[in-house]
Chain A
């Protein structure tokens, strides 16, 4: 089992959209996938056309078995949904012993090939739990100064965890809402690449179809699989960026 966290302390950078899209993409490639919503907004279920519910609360606070709280979202794709009760999960974890590894312990024997954690834009005990449980961290970011600062923050948190003995397989930075026509985008991308080199993955083009798909409760693979957000920009006979290329990179680095 490999666990991937989607994290950035800045909100609105496309964490949930990326997590939902890649989770369904992995499921479509035949991998048994679990997507866990660690954000009290509960948007994972919503994006998949399902009702929000307190799955995470029941798992962590009420001690219900994993099999009872997961919801089947698509073939090969289950989710642990969240809602406002997720706030109570944070309080519960804060008062528990061995609190940093509670989530990791719960997911350890889940039997899925890949587990994806959609993290909230915060730095609380649930966030730390998510990072401790993860092998790989994917950091979606808009190419603006505030979001890029969020990347540095999350990396500094990961650095602290590594210094206390947690071993990450690695991390990648995924530019989202990419608009290649502006100078600011190019300037920010170059800065990011200068600082993080090959850890910066090809970007996800800005694409209204992605917002539309969420409104219909469909993933982009279902709503509009041939759009630029999935297929990237044309570059001669090849394509650059898009979720399809992100999936290829992800499967390669986590080795599933």
Chain B
């Protein structure tokens, strides 16, 4: 019995489930007072408009923290700071002033040929983990 791999069967098509959720949400919104309805609609439009600007990348925690700290210090959005850093990097790469070859190590993944392995001295010091004693 323990060897038996049981798998729950889907009760409904996932796309149909998404559609029903979406329609229910919109129907619930239509019952709200006008002000709240308009607010929801604005929020949705904002999310839609930002969708193409969103990206997810894995970053070392130390780099992430450094960006966050600098953004707080300069009192500006971290996204804009990262955009500036990336634009500067891409321009420098195009101009040939950045050489990736010292960091390239062959990758075992079938998806990639290379990994970029950065030396420790290039990365900021890892943030200290908080202990209970503080």
Residues in B neighbouring A201, C-beta threshold 8 A: 13, 16
Q: Indicate the member of B16, B18, B27 with the most A CB atoms within 10 Å.
A: B16
A240 touches B11 (CB 8 A): no
Q: Which of B9, B12, B18, B24 contacts A200 (CB under 8 A)?
A: B12
A202 touches B20 (CB 8 A): no
Residues in A neighbouring B26, C-beta threshold 8 A: 180
Q: Indicate the member of A193, A203, A241, A245 with the most B CB atoms within 10 Å.
A: A193
Q: Categorize the interface residue count of chain B.
A: 10 to 19
Give bound CA distance, A202 to B9, whole Å: 18
A235 touches B22 (CB 8 A): yes
Give bound CA distance, A193 to B18, whole Å: 13
How many chain A residues touch B (Cβ–Cβ < 8 Å)? 20
B16 touches A180 (CB 8 A): no
Contact flags (1/0) for B1-42 with A, using CB distance below 8 Å?
000000001111101101110111011000000000000000
A189 touches B20 (CB 8 A): yes
Decide yes or no whether B51 CB sits under 8 A from chain A.
yes
Q: Which of B10, B11, B15, B24 contacts A241 (CB under 8 A)?
A: B15
Q: Which of B10, B11, B20, B51 contacts A237 (CB under 8 A)?
A: B51
Residues in A neighbouring B18, C-beta threshold 8 A: 235, 240
Known A183-B27, A186-B27, A197-B11; judge A202-B22 contact (CB<8 A): no
Closest 9 A/B residue pairs (Cβ): A202-B15, A186-B23, A240-B15, A240-B19, A198-B12, A198-B13, A197-B11, A193-B12, A197-B12
Interface CB pairs A-B, < 8 A, 26? A180-B19, A180-B22, A186-B23, A189-B16, A189-B20, A189-B23, A190-B20, A193-B16, A197-B11, A197-B12, A198-B9, A198-B12, A198-B13, A200-B13, A201-B16, A202-B13, A202-B15, A202-B16, A202-B19, A203-B19, A235-B18, A235-B22, A240-B18, A240-B22, A241-B15, A241-B19
